[in-house]
Amino acid sequence: MAEVVQCSVHEGVAVVSINHPPVNALAWQVRDSLLTALECAEMDSEVRAILIAGAGKTFPAGADIAEFDMPRKEPWLPQICTQIEMCRKPVVAELHGTVLGGGFELALACHYRIGLRSTRVGLPEVKLGLIPGAGGTQRTPRLVGAKVALDMILSGRMLPLDQAPYRIFADRLVVEPEDLRAAALEFCHEAVSKGPRPSCERREGFADPVATQLELTKRAADEADGPENARREAVAAVEAAFLLPFDAGCAFEEAAFADLVASDQSKALRHAFFAERRAAKVAQSVDPHPSQIKTLAILGGGMLASQLAVAALNAGLAVRWGIADSDRRIAAWTDVEDSLEDAVSAGDLTKQVANDALKRLICGTMPDMIKNADFVIRAAEGLQRSDMAEDVVCAIAVAENVDQIGLRFARPAHLSRLVEVIEGPRARPDQLESAIALVKRLGKQPVHVRSSGETIGGRMMAALHRAADALVDLGASPYDIDDALTKWGLELPPFLQRDATGLRIVGRVERREGGMNWSAVLAQAGRTGRASRQGFYSYLGDAATPVHDDKALTLFDKHRADTNGVKKTDIVPLILGAMVNEGARLVDEHVAACASDIDVVMMTGHQFPRWRGGPMKAAELHGLFRVARTMQGANHPDKALWVPHPRLAALVRNGEGIEALTN
Ligand code: 3HC
């Protein structure tokens, strides 16, 4: 096996190359070898400058996220950054690829940076519920100011190194990849005469202290009430950079980082990171680089087809759109044109990009359009309705050339992230790989599903609604249920959601076991939802603001026996319990491959908060034993809700986490 860090000396420059595919993550083994290489280079009298580079496709893209679940092991990244910064010989970072998180912090600790123009940089830690933990909150604002530093840290976005204001991070840029090494070696020789330049001593980013303080005050106020702890800590850490000496600021960052790593929010977001990648995998992968799809044929003239066409054009694909009806062909073209124009007006696309996209679109007859396409999708408009949630209605698109793979897009297809990739009985792994690659190319999240009969999201949402109804059966108020779930992080809680859909529709499809169909009860009393300004809630004013309504509560009391009610603190565990029970059933029935796939579906297609990690991870973080105990205390005739499924009971008995729930 190749060394994870290789070192060689070229005319007085020690080239320290990190070689740890796929993204050169700074795992312990890398850090340990890197530190040794740096110490050797500093002591070597032949070496006058040190160049740190990443082998393969990128300079390190960050710390190793998997290690955050393990005990911390020295040398830590901040120690290496300090070692670099204090080195008596100039240290230069050679940047290419995606220089992210700890990788970017490593680069910032170097005295100079030379990079390829195509390099993208960023501090995405907040997406993992963390803040930069290797000096990023202290060095970034020193170089570029509090505003840009906070934009980077709070957005977590990947940004172009060759554009202002990020250009400041590079001392020199190179256009062609093949020229980078020679330019970097030349730059190292120049750096010898300049000498080391520690970032910790720079303060040009704080040149205007009044503007800095104003920016910090504004950002602190913006984040004050948000649910995500990392964002508040990020603002505090950047403020520390401005107000404290460098070492004290680093100590603040380190303590905040340690707290965040141990927090449930970060555990949930780290789970989301790996779960999304796992969900996109085919079990027996045949080809790590599936063939590129450049031209996509879409067959069908309906709404789904047009949303797909827009998504594919936005992703840079050529689209051959086959529509049988010639009149519809003209209207369809106009639909796409309008959609692209809307995106230009909203500032999401430039006029030039929209024009280029339209040039890649051809409309014609179906057989003609299939010719020369790399992949064909039949956009079937036969919609599958999930039980309750109107806005998660799915559609099926079938790859015509194999007719064995279903692509179920959450609607609207050009905006929603979730696509369930359904493996038909005769689907080949290479065909699945192509379908998954296409979905990724469209900028969406594929979830590989082995059965086409049911939607994971539909089943989980139905469990949530059944549990909410059962809690009302047991005496809880819908307002308390919605309130508890909103505080927990759900954007649209169940009773508000039903009012929005309309209670006549919901009441017709609701199936209850041993309880009232509450939506139908309200609809029969003329309270048909938000459109009629009365449903579970009453709606006031032009903005149709929902308010609690005693008349609705009286209706419930008329239809339910005296009960002891439900403790408010049990509402969330009981809803999660019903969902994790359904999740266990979905895995047991081979509809879902594993618990984390269910979480991905709920986070990307059903607005479950990512910082909760989806319902399965949220139940685990709450404590599966605690959830199961609360379930056992709820006595309801619908046994599927709260009698723990054998697979869930086994997890609890064995003290296992949800990763053990697989088929
Ligand atoms: N740690 C561990 N594994 C990582 C990783 C990381 N930082 N980044 C990527 N990987 C793994 C992925 O899990 C995946 O593994 P798999 O093949 O077994 O599923 C593999 O590398 C390839 O990743 P992608 O499929 O995402 O590859 P892409 O080419 O699509 O994207 C990327 C590359 C843009 C680098 C993307 O992987 C990414 O955004 N990674 C995360 C970057 C990040 O968050 N860095 C900050 C980490 S926290 C940190 O640094 C703390 C510090 O402040 C102390």
Residue 83 maps to which CATH number? Answer: 3.90.226.10
Q: Whose CA is nearest to atom 33 of ligand 1?
A: 23
Flag whether 284 is in a domain: no
Q: Whose CA is nearest to atom 25 of ligand 1?
A: 277
Q: Kind of pairing, strands 295-299 and 159-160?
A: unpaired
Q: Where are the alpha helices (DSSP H) in 97-206?
A: 101-109, 136-144, 146-155, 180-194
pLDDT (mean) for 451-467: 85
List active site positions: 105, 125
Same domain, 299 and 406: yes
CA of 604 to the centre of ligand 1 (A): 19
Q: What is the pLDDT of residue 591?
A: 85
Relative to the CA of 64, which ligand 1 atom is closest? 1
Task: Supply the pTM of this predicted model.
Answer: 0.92
445 near 431, Cβ under 8 Å? no
Query: For residue 291, what are its two tokens?
Result: 């063939």
Flag whether 568 is in a domain: no
Is the per-residue pLDDT at 398 higher than 60?
Answer: no
End-to-end CA distance of the chain: 33
pLDDT confidence bin for 390, thresholds 50/70/90? very low
CA of 19 to the centre of ligand 1 (A): 15
pLDDT confidence bin for 537, thresholds 50/70/90? very high
224 near 232, Cβ under 8 Å? yes
Query: d(Cα 479, Cα 472) in Å, to the nearest integer?
Result: 10
Flag whether 137 is in a domain: yes
pLDDT digits (tens, 9 = 90+) for 141-160: 999 999 999 999 999 999 99
Is the per-residue pLDDT at 400 higher than 50?
Answer: no
Q: Whose CA is nearest to atom 14 of ligand 1?
A: 277
Same domain, 19 and 155: yes
Q: For residue 232, which amino acid is it?
A: R
Dihedral sign, CA of 251, 254, 257, 262? negative
Query: d(Cα 229, Cα 148) in Å, to the nearest integer?
Result: 20
With a CB cutoff of 8 Å and minimum separation 6, the contacts of 247 are: none
pLDDT (mean) for 271-291: 78
CA of 25 to the centre of ligand 1 (A): 7
Same domain, 209 and 316: no
| Phi and psi angles of residue 406, each rounded to the nearest 5 degrees, phi first | -100, 140
Relative to the CA of 124, which ligand 1 atom is closest? 44
Owner of token pair 């965040």:
260
Query: d(Cα 381, Cα 174) in Å, to the nearest integer?
Result: 49
Flag whether 402 is in a domain: yes
With a CB cutoff of 8 Å and minimum separation 6, the contacts of 561 are: none
Q: Which of 23, 274, 276 to mutate to test the pocket of ligand 1 (most atoms within 8 A of CB)?
A: 23
pLDDT digits (tens, 9 = 90+) for 469-484: 999 999 999 999 999 9
Task: Specify the DSSP class assigned to residue 70.
Answer: S
Same domain, 486 and 353: no
User: Number of folded domains in the chain?
Assistant: 3
Same domain, 510 and 382: no
pLDDT (mean) for 537-561: 91
CA of 103 to the centre of ligand 1 (A): 11
Same domain, 163 and 307: no
Relative to the CA of 280, which ligand 1 atom is closest? 19
pLDDT confidence bin for 653, thresholds 50/70/90? very high
Q: Whose CA is nearest to atom 40 of ligand 1?
A: 61
DSSP 388-420: S-GGG-EEEEEETTTS-EEEEEESSTTT--EEE
Q: Whose CA is nearest to atom 45 of ligand 1?
A: 62
Is the per-residue pLDDT at 391 higher than 50?
Answer: no
Query: d(Cα 32, Cα 75) in Å, to the nearest integer?
Result: 6
Choosing from 261, 281, 313, the residue where a domain stops is 261
CA of 24 to the centre of ligand 1 (A): 9
Same domain, 95 and 197: yes
Same domain, 109 and 198: yes
pLDDT confidence bin for 412, thresholds 50/70/90? confident
Give residue 236's domain range: 5-261
Same domain, 256 and 300: no
Grouping H, G, I as helix, E, B as strand and the rest as coil, residue 440 is helix
| Phi and psi angles of residue 381, each rounded to the nearest 5 degrees, phi first | -90, 5
Same domain, 230 and 88: yes
Same domain, 449 and 311: yes
Instruction: Tell me which H or E stretch contains 161.
Output: none
pLDDT digits (tens, 9 = 90+) for 557-616: 888 876 667 999 999 999 999 999 999 999 998 889 999 999 999 999 998 999 999 999
The pocket around ligand 1, CB under 6 angstroms, is made up of: 22-23, 25, 61-66, 77, 98, 100-102, 105, 124-125, 128, 130, 132-134, 136, 277
CA of 290 to the centre of ligand 1 (A): 20
Query: For residue 146, what are its two tokens?
Result: 């509090």
Other C-beta atoms within 10 Å of 573: how many? 24
On the question of a cis peptide bond just before residue 196, with omega within 30 degrees of 0, the verdict is no
Q: How many angstroms separate the most distant Cα atoms in the chain?
A: 90
Chain center to CA of 571: 27
Flag whether 314 is in a domain: yes
Flag whether 603 is in a domain: no
pLDDT (mean) for 451-476: 88
Closest C-alpha to 516, from 472, 477, 554: 472
Flag whether 632 is in a domain: no
CATH number of the domain bearing residue 497:
1.10.1040.10
